[in-house]
């Protein structure tokens, strides 16, 4: 077994261990359950409302948006947050000091974050399938459609999140990443029909993956009758595929370059300096 294969295997094992550890930490468990229950409670109160211009449940129509938004927010800020925290406490420096340590580290973080994302999707989607009979009207085909959108959504967001995290000076800088992401969420139509927004805003939103991820989720889980509120009254599967693949390629091209540059700059003195600044803020 060569060193790269060993790093891949250790990274997968590390990711699985980190994922399991999130379920042994009371704060992590409470935080995850809080958001799941918040989303489910919101959908419950929307169950009797209907999508404008149709008789379709507004609650059911909102489910794909919640799933898509979760993938984007967690993919971008989650990956960036992991890197920023581990850079500050010296974890990245230790990974850099071992053969193929950065490869194992990245595989581990990707594995842990992917498992967490899939768990979050399942925790929201499964109860909603019982609450809203109109979801996933094509049965197995709907789930296969959802699977490829989910995979592309993860590929289109996590590498970009890692690239952004490599640029952050500290864990406190992640807020600067969260604000633009929330701004994109406001104009992406992921929670409401984007056709209600001005055309120039619609154009801006369609540049980024959040709109297309939401559209892909809706095309997988909603019946064809819900397409009337979409742009051109079409699910546009080919543009969805093309944009998500394009962002995946961009992220996978940028992230390794930026992460290598960040790793080269890591040294014991820089970690000590960040710790000293942190202690001064606490003091």
Report in angstroms the alpha-carbon separations of 247 from 60, 99, 161.
Answer: 28, 30, 12
Q: Across the chain, what does the average pLDDT equal?
A: 83
pTM of the model: 0.85
What tens digit of pLDDT does each residue of 223-261 get?
888 888 888 888 999 999 999 999 999 988 888 888 878
What is the per-residue pLDDT for 148?
94
What tens digit of pLDDT does each residue of 82-98 get?
887 777 777 777 777 77
What is the per-residue pLDDT for 9?
87
DSSP, collapsed to helix, strand or coil, labels residue 57 as strand
Query: What is the pLDDT confidence band of residue 276, given thresholds at 50, 70 and 90?
Result: low
Find the angle CA(154)-CA(164)-CA(260) to the nearest 5 degrees. Answer: 100
What is the per-residue pLDDT for 279?
55
Please count the CA atoms within 13 angstroms of the CA of 24 that sit on its side-chain side: 5
> What is the C-alpha to C-alpha distance for residues 233 and 218, in angstroms, rounded to an integer?
13
What is the per-residue pLDDT for 270?
59
Residues 39, 43, 45, 51, CA torsion sign: positive
Find the angle CA(64)-CA(67)-CA(70) to the nearest 5 degrees. Answer: 145
Over residues 202-209, mean pLDDT: 91
**C-alpha 66: how far from its chain's center?**
11
174 versus 149: the higher-pLDDT residue is 149
Over residues 220-225, mean pLDDT: 89
- For the chain, first and last CA: distance in Å? 49
Helix 209-221 with 140-167: angle, nearest 10 deg: 160
What is the per-residue pLDDT for 59?
83
Please count the CA atoms within 13 angstroms of the CA of 57 that sit on its side-chain side: 21
Over residues 199-209, mean pLDDT: 91
């Amino acid at each position: 077994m060569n060193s790269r294969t060993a790093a891949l295997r250790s990274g997968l094992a590390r990711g699985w261990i980190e994922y399991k550890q999130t379920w042994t930490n009371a704060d992590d468990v409470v935080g995850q359950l809080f958001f799941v229950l918040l989303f489910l409670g919101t959908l419950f109160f929307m169950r009797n409302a209907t999508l404008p211009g149709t008789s379709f449940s507004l609650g059911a129509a909102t489910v794909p948006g919640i799933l898509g938004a979760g993938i984007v927010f967690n993919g971008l800020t989650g990956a960036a947050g992991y890197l920023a925290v581990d850079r500050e406490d010296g974890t990245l420096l230790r990974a850099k000091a071992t053969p193929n340590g950065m490869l194992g580290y990245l595989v581990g973080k990707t594995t842990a974050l992917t498992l967490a994302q899939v768990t979050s999707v399942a925790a929201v989607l499964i109860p909603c399938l019982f609450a809203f009979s109109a979801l996933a009207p094509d049965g197995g085909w709907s789930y296969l459609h959802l699977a490829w959108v989910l995979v592309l959504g993860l590929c289109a967001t996590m590498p970009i999140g890692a690239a952004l995290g490599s640029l952050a000076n500290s864990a406190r800088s992640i807020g600067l990443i969260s604000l633009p992401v929330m701004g994109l969420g406001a104009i992406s139509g992921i929670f409401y029909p984007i056709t209600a927004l001005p055309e120039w805003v619609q154009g801006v939103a369609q540049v980024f993956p959040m709109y297309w991820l939401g559209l892909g989720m809706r095309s997988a889980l909603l019946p064809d009758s819900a397409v009337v509120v979409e742009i051109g009254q079409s699910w546009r599967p080919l543009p969805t595929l093309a944009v998500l693949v394009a962002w995946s390629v961009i992220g996978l091209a940028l992230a390794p370059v930026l992460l290598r540059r960040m790793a080269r700059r890591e040294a014991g003195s820089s970690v000590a300096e960040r710790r000293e600044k942190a202690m001064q803020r606490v003091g």
